[in-house]
Chains A and B, each alone.
Chain A
């Protein structure tokens, strides 16, 4: 490139205002100092937000509906395992279950009916075969004497079915399908 252009190019100098800006940057206390610090803060903020979302997802997904009887959480027992309970009761007596959920949960029953109570014992549904709840509740399951009773619980896309059996001694068994 001709020397003329090179000389013209090298005659360009930064404005004095830039020198002042840069020098004032080094005078500012480090904690209030620069854009880089803001960028770093934003990165941490983004990371924290992402972690919060992931943690919330894990936490919320862990809150699937839980069905309890005699303080035993039925949904935590292995599939096809049986939970015997309520010995020496007539098959026609209602069976009390506690459902723990914080999201919309569909309940349906075959071979019986159910009454649903809130945890403060308000009757929510009476003698229904299906309903929806979105909070903890108590299920009084009324089996038909002639049939096995199957309770289906479907919350957060995780359906589970529980079959109620009675043996000749009047002991109940709930089996998770």
Chain B
């Protein structure tokens, strides 16, 4: 009975155009984050799709756009972590089939993702959200449901490791 109710709610409130709007607003960040955590394009696509399905099932109410963005990012990080645990994915980045990037950009992306794959997942995720996606430390902490000090510590360690891995000043 409960499932039917959820279905009816979905049909009423979740139109394809609403899906498209949400997708355009959040999918790129979600996909990149999932790709950085999981290391392969197929799993990243699965993670993003699963989050949208979850959204359509539960239709959470958001107070504002930041709340909405944080929900989608948090969900995709959690889903990616689930997939990582369940499939024992060894992160190795292969972007050949997924991107139409120019050659030099592709080279940078490959180097970056190769370095990210050497980091523990908890360092990788904070670095991606803060340094690459541009979230503040507080927003990153909120997305990851972690403390601000923990995020700062992980960021510092992630930066140190990336500095060595990318052989550059970060």
User: A58 within 8 Å of B by Cβ?
Assistant: no
A9–B57 Cα gap in the complex (Å)? 31
State how many angstroms separate the Cβ of B159 from the closest Cβ of chain A: 8
Give the size category of A's interface with B: 20 to 34
User: A70 within 8 Å of B by Cβ?
Assistant: no
Among candidates A2, A6, A17, A34, residue contacting B53 with C-beta atoms closer than 8 Å: A34
Which of B63-71, B83-91, B137-145, B162-170 is the contact stretch?
A: B162-170
User: A78 within 8 Å of B by Cβ?
Assistant: no
Using CB atoms, name the residue of chain B closest to A2: B168
Residues of B within 8 A of A1 (CB): 127, 131-132, 159, 162, 166, 170
Among candidates B7, B45, B109, residue contacting A8 with C-beta atoms closer than 8 Å: B109
B112 touches A5 (CB 8 A): yes
A12-B99, A22-B48, A23-B16 known; A34 and B112 CB under 8 Å? no
A33 touches B56 (CB 8 A): yes
A14–B169 Cα gap in the complex (Å)? 29
The main secondary structure of chain B at its interface with chain A is helix
User: A71 within 8 Å of B by Cβ?
Assistant: no
A5-B166, A37-B3 known; A10 and B132 CB under 8 Å? yes
A40–B53 Cα gap in the complex (Å)? 13
Among candidates A5, A6, A15, residue contacting B45 with C-beta atoms closer than 8 Å: A15
Residues of A within 8 A of B35 (CB): 12
B11-29 contacts to A (CB < 8 Å): 11, 14-16, 18-20, 23, 27-28
Among candidates A8, A19, A27, residue contacting B108 with C-beta atoms closer than 8 Å: A8
A5–B104 Cα gap in the complex (Å)? 11
Using CB atoms, name the residue of chain A closest to B127: A1
A22 touches B132 (CB 8 A): no
A14-B27, A18-B49, A25-B56 known; A6 and B16 CB under 8 Å? no
State how many angstroms separate the Cβ of A27 from the closest Cβ of chain B: 6
Number of interface residues of B (CB under 8 A): 49
Q: Mark B133-165, 1 if CB is under 8 A from A, else 0.
A: 000000000000000000000000001001000
User: A13 within 8 Å of B by Cβ?
Assistant: yes
B19 touches A23 (CB 8 A): yes
A12 touches B27 (CB 8 A): no
B55-87 contacts to A (CB < 8 Å): 56-57
Residues of A within 8 A of B53 (CB): 25, 33-36
A9 touches B45 (CB 8 A): no
B20 touches A23 (CB 8 A): yes
B45 touches A21 (CB 8 A): yes
Residues of A within 8 A of B131 (CB): 1, 6
Using CB atoms, name the residue of chain B closest to A18: B45
* 4 new A-B contacts at CB < 8 Å, known A10-B32, A22-B49: A1-B131, A22-B52, A26-B15, A26-B19
18 residue pairs of the A-B complex, CB under 8 angstroms, read A2-B166, A2-B169, A5-B108, A5-B111, A5-B112, A5-B132, A12-B109, A18-B48, A21-B49, A22-B49, A26-B18, A29-B11, A30-B10, A33-B7, A34-B57, A36-B54, A36-B57, A37-B57
9 closest A-B pairs by beta carbon, nearest first, are: A30-B7, A8-B108, A14-B31, A26-B19, A34-B53, A1-B131, A8-B109, A5-B112, A9-B132
